[in-house]
Structure 1
Amino acid sequence: MAYAALVSLTQLLDQIMHYNNIPLSEEQELQSLQEKLTFLQAFLENYSHNNGKPVEFLEAQIRDTAYQAQDIVESHISDQVCGDDNCCGFERCFRYLGLRRSNIEKKYEKDLLTVMEQFDSIIEEVINIQRNSRVENLQHSYTSASASSTASASSRNAPSGRDKMVGFDEDLLRIKDRLCGESPKLGIISIVGMGGIGKTTLSRNIFDDSLIAYYFHIRAWITISQDYLFREVLLSLLNSLTVITKDLSLETDYQLAENVYKSLKGRTYLIILDDMWSTKAWDDLKRFFPDDYNGSRIVITTRLLDVASYASSSPVHQLRFLNEDQSWNLLREKVFGQQSCQPKLEKIGRIIAKNCGGLPLAISVVAGVLVKGNRTEYHWRNIARNISGVVTKNDEHFSMILTLSYDHLPYHLKKCFLYMGGFPEDYGIPVSKLIKLWVAEGFLKPVRSKSLEEIAEEYLEDLVKRNLVLISKKRSNGKYRFCGIHDLMRDLCIRKAEEENFLHVLSSNAYTSQRGIKHHRRLIIFSDFTASFFITTSPLPIRSVLNFSRCFLESFVLGFRLLRVLDALKTSLEYFPVEITELFHLRYLAFSYYAVKSELKIIPPSISKLRNLQTLIIHPYPLELYLPFQIWKMPQLMHLMFKTCVLLVPLAARIGWKVPVLENLQTLSTVKKFRFTSKALEMIPNLKKLKVHYTGVSQAKWSKYCLNNLVRLRQLETLSFSFRPTSSWRRDPFSTSFALPPNLKKLTLTGCRFLWEDMAIVGSLPNLEVLKLRDYAFLGREWESNEGEFGRLKFLLMEWLNLKCWRAESSHFPCLEHLVVRSCWQLEEIPCEIGEIPTLRLIEVGPRSKLAADSALLIQEEQRNLGNDILQVRLYS
């Protein structure tokens, strides 16, 4: 993880360099260190992944030296912070540099000088490698130009044999239809999916199919692979089309390509390009495939969605994991063939098949083990308990297939992918949480004009397109909500992360685990531990603790004085652990807070000592939490997330004095009875997401909350407004003036009791994409939407409304994709015109909405009669 270590250290130095009160000598040293880091980052970004063990050893040196430098700088900062209780942040740290040097400062200078010398030694070695690499490239170019090349045997012919296709019959039929039907124009069909999911097996069955063999005059199979060589691919193609002679192998690349074109010209051909890893490979080859409008086809298999989309002239074919029945059918076919399976083994066999996660290659490997072993319940149960161990131990080829995807990752994605191994098996990882953690860890290389969270979203999207990260659920606006990775891929992450000292999973064996974390930067806790486990005479280099156990001991935290991330959300504490406030470098803090007494629900003012904190997540029980005024003194805060909290504006703001501004604050949820005064809004100018809740507010006191000022939150994109009125006017409509920020994209209104006549305020929002109306958000029996409203709305939810008549035209919701109606028991029908919206894909109708459900089915039937098979209707009881 050399690259990750360099990026993290660079970010730390950038943060320090932003302060102007650093003495010149110190600034020069840090600038010099920064230049060295920039050089090494560029080296790793541009140098090939496959340059042998010397480079791997050099990467380990870079990683360890960067870690050492980070430890030196952050330890020095912590020492300075502890020496001055009246100052905060880096200003406090460097105030002492202008005074007489203490012994600690002299040690810091000596250690920093030592690590700078180590970087100089590494850079010298890098320069030698670059020089030697240039010489080797010249020699290779000369050799390629003067000597003949022969194609590797592995990529010359189609794989021998034909595996039984189980679970992919529909895929096979769909691909065959596309090959033999559709347009006579040359068609490129891309099959994409995770390594081991069956892309090659599916292609092999297509290639050997008797109908395909009859339909195409020429069939050729070429394996591209990561080590792609243009000349070898051309020779492999010609080998499939003709017989390679000595003269042909001596021809230039251009002559070989010309021979490929001539051999295919005028003939109906099928070319399988298996295991493609880059768009460059396709760019190199595509111009040598003639298009004679005779129905010729090219099939590309790849793990990379970007490559598949780039090459394909039609929608890509995404292979999915097998379901439980398909997995069992494949396992049974592999193990028993035509024989029957004993009922007592079938039950365990189904568990084994399920634990393979729908990955055909894993099922095949396990089946091979079952065939060789004893067919006893005991033996099969042991295999069911450890599918990963069985697969990796018994098939080196399987491990290599999964490892290829990791090895192909660019450096900036490797650390993000390995981080996925730090979450429990079958755990739905909240995407918003993952992104916040990546930011706090310092994984992301800054890009001008983009926020770190935008960069993190791009990294995640890239991993998804590489079929390494799986999306389990999306948000109503189409963005990712939960993600994860395949269990067998997770095991690969953990193994690689342990090798790189990137993270360590705490096992039940305390002695082994304690020794294991000595050189690791991240600690993952899945099981309970004891206080004695963390008693150590020397500081541990841990930067992150992800605690998924119920155990939390405040005392052990102080042993990790350089901690950046502490995620203990599954742990319920009876009081706020003040020891945490001593962790100056902390950027991410999450835990659950069970307060026995009401006075214990207050976060202590010392929380403001965490000057670097970006994310604070607390789930309090009971649901209400009081935040101190000092929270406004934490300039790095980006996300404040609670079930319900009370956040007061400092007195200074209320009387008009100058107050701190949280310029970085993007998320504030859920805040109770917040007063949106002009001064309060000045303190949160860049807020993007806000959840606010009001309860027990009478009509007479409503105006003091200044809701008409909400319109001044110009950066706000997501607003959730929840209202629980006093019982005396529970059925009365909302009568206070209300305005909404113009840039809203997502709006949730609960219990607000607006009149339907006021919907124009919502409908006029130019960027609104998601609208959720819950629990009498609007009062009244009739809603008539208007032309020109909801121009970009994609998702509409109506739940627990007393609406009876809804009148709308298709032009009123021109971009609507998803409509949900729940518990609207009086709604007589969904307007039939809604079905005419061209973008509409799904109508969901939940319980207590029978009339709406009947009308939805009629809409679907009418659209199908018109040839619209895209619109789906789902009914829930």
Structure 2
Amino acid sequence: MADAVMTLLVESLCQLITEKVKLIGGAKDELDNLLQVINTLKAFLQDNDQQESNSNSWKTFVKNIRTQAHKADDVIDKFVLEAKLHEEKNIWKKTLSFGRHIKRVNNLAKGIKDICEKVKVIRQENPQVLQPRPMLNLPRRLAREPQATFLEVRNIVGFTTESNEVMERLVGGTEEVECIPIVGMTGLGKTTLARKVWSDSQITAIFSKIIWVSVGQSNELEDIFFVILKSSTGPNQEFRLTGENELAKVIASFGTEQHRCLIVLDDVWASELVDFFKNVLPENKKRHRILMTTRRRDLASCASERPYHLKFLTGEDSFRLLEKRVFDNGRCQNDLVELGKSIANKCGGLPLALVVIARALKVIQNVYEWKRIENNFWQYVVRENDTTSCWKIVEASYESLSSEMKTCFLYCLAFPKGYDIPVQMLIRLWMAEGLIESSPINFSSSEDKADNYLMEFENLDLVIVSREITGSIKRVKCNEMFYEFYKMEVTKESVFQELRLTPDFPSINDPDTSRRLHIESCDLPDFISRISSAEHVRSFLCFSSEDLDQQTNLSSHVDIQLIRKAFPLLRVLKIESINIPSLKNLNLLFHLRYISISGNFKELPAFFSKFWSLQSIIVNTSQPTLNIKANIWNMPKLTHLKTNKPSKLPLPSTQKGKGSSSLLQTLSKISPETCNKAVLGQASNSLKKLSIQGKIEDSLQTNSDRFSTFEGFQTLEKFECLENLKLVSDVPCHTNDFQFPKALFRFLLKLKKLTLSKTMFDWKDATKLGQLECLEVLKLKTDAFTGKSWNPEKGDFRKLQVLWIHSNDLHTWEASGSHFPKLRVLVLECPKLESVPAELSQFQQQS
């Protein structure tokens, strides 16, 4: 967590020193010095966090460094707020307050100097932590011997079918070396299944050489090989090996013409190990096999085209296993059956959780004690540092993450349990919080990094993702099975503080643990009335856990400006689950990076232009349109503007030095009448997602005073970044006298998704869409085209995966599979359509 704090601090310092040097005046030298110190410590933390994460001295050192980084962050942000207010004064007021401003600059310099001195003292008092370590002395995770396997589930329910299927693949298959991966969530019984297969008489009869090694997170081949040799040689046999090649020769000797070899690799974390064994075992057509267990889906897919995915136990099997473990193969008492089934269901089909909770249930078998265990389920299933609970095996997935990835994952738990988090919102929040790089110039690389993080979380079953049909991640949800366990990590790492209104209201005054606050919307009005000043708070997030779409209206006597007064240094304000009465009281939140709000707003005020760090604006209004008064084109960090109703955009500034292209990635939704040549020209070099809603028909009209929407497209030299375009008419158009806009395929070179609704173009023009070479998703909804037939041309739509058509007129559609070679989903809402070609009907789905 400390290096995440420092990442944001470094970003703020660089911005101050390079872009806003006038604000800091005489404090520049001190800030330069602090930047150097913070950069050095940040690099040191990143290099050493994985090796030192379990050391108490290291944890104390990191906590002290984080505290000083927070203090520096507070001192700088508070000064910038005061300097911005001074900068906005007229010349007369500036003159009068000049002395006070100089004093503030001097105080800033002194405060930064004091912090640097404290960091120096911390480093001097911790020489053992800061000493460079030889690589040979770094702690290593060694391979384990078979008897050290973490979980051995006796009397397991099921696995008969599973073991038979795995054995069939081990015995059958090709004559060459093959790997059969067993993959599944931690605690699902992968090791138990492998043990069952490994010890089966059919396997021991067929394979004359069977070797088991529990790998774990070891990356030392030599350690693993020695474990293998120790388990496969006689107790008195001596062997002397001089390097990896010699070890490989010994392993290869297991698979001779006389021996058929089976190597079981339990709990694999790296593909290199499996690749090594595939290369070492001889290709002598003896059907040598490698059986591996892994929790990583990506490794399983690399090892085999057909990984064996282990499934969760059914509700019935879960209760049967619980019953066997509690009552030693006997039957559950009648008065405990319902409670037992309820507790079994809480285990989510996970054998490990069932075995652990069974130990607690077995001690005292009465209704009162079982009810108490049910109410405190997670205290029994996951007990920290208790290797008989689920803690150790669950911790392994979390501990395999880098420090930055851990923080990003734990941030997901700021959302209520069961919350489907839109992935684009999550990524933008990560950027705004400084958890990953947030530079608009490197926005794509930041998104790629975030996507890689999410795929890693999915690989380890930390989250469950839902995907677009094209494969991209759409939403992400924390795995509910171990949600409470990771919530303990959230508290320990001070990622955010969850506020719940109780008679003993939790304090938010600790600058190290209360920098991010999370509250349910139903508690917000009461919280605001009791709020205290806390300048250190940087994020305020409000959710509704019961009905995520329901909004709570603030009563008239509650003033939203209390949030601004209590948290003047806010960077993230996410309160769209409530309606706020006015935006005017947010005018001094200069440090905002992300804002998501709802209310009866007519406009986005001009003062938003002053928020120099703002990256994302999400506004939901009950008005039919939203007038954007803020000059979004000159906001240096703004990449995302999203409104639920069409917004009217301002014209770009014509002032000298103010006309540079914006860095906007998303414009959704905007009104057609403001989507002209000047507006589109500002966004053409960066825009990825564009949604236009309103009177599309009017925007097709051109005159001497105004460029149309599509003429705006046509007059551009290029529009090469746009990937997602949505055009929605509020009322059906009647544009039969106008040609379909050629710009849609002349300049949209990278367009992947196109949605048209109520535009009512002629079906004969729909064929032109096939010239969009990158198009993957095409949604023609609510009479986007009119006419009775559509005859797409062959050779077009080469990459189209999703086709959605809603038309009340379409009678015939002459298309075949060759027209859409990549098609995966076809949705047709065409009541008059006579038939669908047979080769396309296999893709047809309901809307």
TM above 0.5: yes
Q: Distance in 2 between matches of 1:699 and 1:152?
A: 68
1:56 aligns with 2:46: no
Q: Distance in 2 between matches of 1:419 and 1:616?
A: 20
Structure 1 counterpart of 2:379, from 360, 373, 389: 389
Q: Distance in 2 between matches of 1:121 and 1:278?
A: 41
Structure 2 counterpart of 1:404, from 396, 402, 427: 396
Q: Distance in 1 between matches of 2:532 and 2:770?
A: 62
**Alignment correspondent of 2:593:** 587
**Alignment correspondent of 1:137:** 137
Q: What is the letter of the counterpart of residue 388 of structure 1?
A: W
1:162 Cα deviation from its structure 2 partner: 5.5
Which segments of 5 or more consecutive residues in structure 1 lack a partner in the other structure?
Answer: 88-93, 142-149, 836-841, 848-877
Q: Distance in 2 between matches of 1:563 and 1:353?
A: 44
Contact 1:808/1:833 (<8 A) preserved: no
**Alignment correspondent of 1:671:** 670
Contact 1:324/1:354 (<8 A) preserved: yes
CA deviation string 1:723-760 (max 9, x = no partner): 1336xx76968656453123211001111111111013
**Alignment correspondent of 2:612:** 611
Q: Distance in 2 between matches of 1:474 and 1:750?
A: 23
Contact 2:677/2:713 (<8 A) preserved: no
1:518 Cα deviation from its structure 2 partner: 4.8
Q: Distance in 1 between matches of 2:263 and 2:190?
A: 15
**Alignment correspondent of 1:109:** 109
Contact 1:734/1:753 (<8 A) preserved: no
1:775 aligns with 2:782: yes
1:548 Cα deviation from its structure 2 partner: 1.1
CA deviation string 1:781-820 (max 9, x = no partner): 2111111211211111123443221111322212222222
TM-aligned CA distance change 1:213 to 1:572, over 3 Å: farther
Q: What is the letter of the counterpart of residue 670 of structure 1?
A: K
Question: What SS class does the counterpart of residue 106 from structure 1 fall into?
Answer: helix
Q: Distance in 2 between matches of 1:6 and 1:658?
A: 33
Q: Distance in 1 between matches of 2:740 and 2:683?
A: 23
Q: What is the letter of the counterpart of residue 296 of structure 1?
A: H
TM-aligned CA distance change 1:797 to 1:345, over 3 Å: farther
TM-aligned CA distance change 1:698 to 1:523, over 3 Å: closer
Correspondence list, 1:565-576, <5 A: 565-573=572-580, 575-576=581-582
1:187 aligns with 2:193: no
Q: Distance in 1 between matches of 2:172 and 2:459?
A: 28
**Alignment correspondent of 1:206:** 197
Q: Distance in 2 between matches of 1:152 and 1:652?
A: 64
**Alignment correspondent of 1:758:** 765
Which segments of 5 or more consecutive residues in structure 2 lack a partner in the other structure?
Answer: 545-551
Question: What SS class does the counterpart of residue 541 from structure 2 fall into?
Answer: strand
1:513 aligns with 2:514: no
CA deviation string 1:141-199 (max 9, x = no partner): 9xxxxxxxx99875457779653454655543442232121111111222333322222
1:485 aligns with 2:478: yes
Q: What is the letter of the counterpart of residue 837 of structure 2?
A: P
1:426 aligns with 2:418: yes
Contact 1:534/1:556 (<8 A) preserved: no
1:590 Cα deviation from its structure 2 partner: 0.8
1:455 aligns with 2:458: no
TM-aligned CA distance change 1:173 to 1:784, over 3 Å: farther
Q: CA RMSD in A?
A: 3.7
**Alignment correspondent of 2:819:** 812
1:68 Cα deviation from its structure 2 partner: 2.0
1:320 Cα deviation from its structure 2 partner: 4.2
1:268 aligns with 2:260: yes
CA deviation string 1:298-335 (max 9, x = no partner): 1222233444445x144433434445455445445544
Q: What is the letter of the counterpart of residue 784 of structure 2?
A: A
Q: Distance in 2 between matches of 1:689 and 1:422?
A: 27
1:367 aligns with 2:373: no
1:206 Cα deviation from its structure 2 partner: 2.0
Question: What SS class does the counterpart of residue 176 from structure 1 fall into?
Answer: helix
Contact 2:807/2:830 (<8 A) preserved: yes
1:588 Cα deviation from its structure 2 partner: 0.7
TM-aligned CA distance change 1:232 to 1:602, over 3 Å: closer
CA deviation string 1:462-499 (max 9, x = no partner): 3223332221x212322111111222432233212212
TM-aligned CA distance change 1:231 to 1:510, over 3 Å: farther
Alignment length (residue pairs): 811
Q: What is the letter of the counterpart of residue 815 of structure 2?
A: A
Contact 2:767/2:791 (<8 A) preserved: no
Shifted more, 431-440 versus 18-27: the winner is 18-27
**Alignment correspondent of 1:742:** 749
Q: Distance in 1 between matches of 2:255 and 2:700?
A: 84
Correspondence list, 1:63-102, <5 A: 63-85=66-88, 102=102
Q: What is the letter of the counterpart of residue 476 of structure 1?
A: I
**Alignment correspondent of 2:43:** 42
Q: Distance in 2 between matches of 1:734 and 1:362?
A: 65
TM-aligned CA distance change 1:201 to 1:622, over 3 Å: farther
Question: What SS class does the counterpart of residue 845 from structure 1 fall into?
Answer: coil
1:531 Cα deviation from its structure 2 partner: 4.4
Determine what percentage of the aligned residue pairs are the same residue.
28
Contact 1:439/1:453 (<8 A) preserved: no
Structure 2 counterpart of 1:245, from 236, 242, 245: 236
Question: What SS class does the counterpart of residue 115 from structure 2 fall into?
Answer: helix
Shifted more, 188-197 versus 320-329: the winner is 320-329
TM-aligned CA distance change 1:624 to 1:364, over 3 Å: farther
TM-score normalised per structure 2: 0.86
TM-aligned CA distance change 1:533 to 1:227, over 3 Å: farther
**Alignment correspondent of 2:693:** 693
Correspondence list, 1:712-727, <5 A: 712=716, 713-725=719-731
Contact 2:57/2:129 (<8 A) preserved: no
Question: What SS class does the counterpart of residue 840 from structure 2 fall into?
Answer: helix
Correspondence list, 1:3-14, <5 A: 3-14=3-14
Q: Distance in 1 between matches of 2:221 and 2:653?
A: 71
**Alignment correspondent of 1:19:** 19
1:234 aligns with 2:238: no
Shifted more, 384-393 versus 278-287: the winner is 278-287
Q: Distance in 2 between matches of 1:316 and 1:54?
A: 43
Q: Distance in 2 between matches of 1:771 and 1:330?
A: 49
Q: Distance in 2 between matches of 1:46 and 1:317?
A: 37
Q: Distance in 1 between matches of 2:238 and 2:331?
A: 57
1:645 aligns with 2:656: no
1:351 Cα deviation from its structure 2 partner: 3.7
Contact 2:648/2:674 (<8 A) preserved: no
1:177 aligns with 2:151: no
Question: What SS class does the counterpart of residue 569 from structure 1 fall into?
Answer: coil
1:834 Cα deviation from its structure 2 partner: 3.2
Contact 1:420/1:493 (<8 A) preserved: no
TM-aligned CA distance change 1:252 to 1:512, over 3 Å: farther
Question: What SS class does the counterpart of residue 843 from structure 1 fall into?
Answer: coil
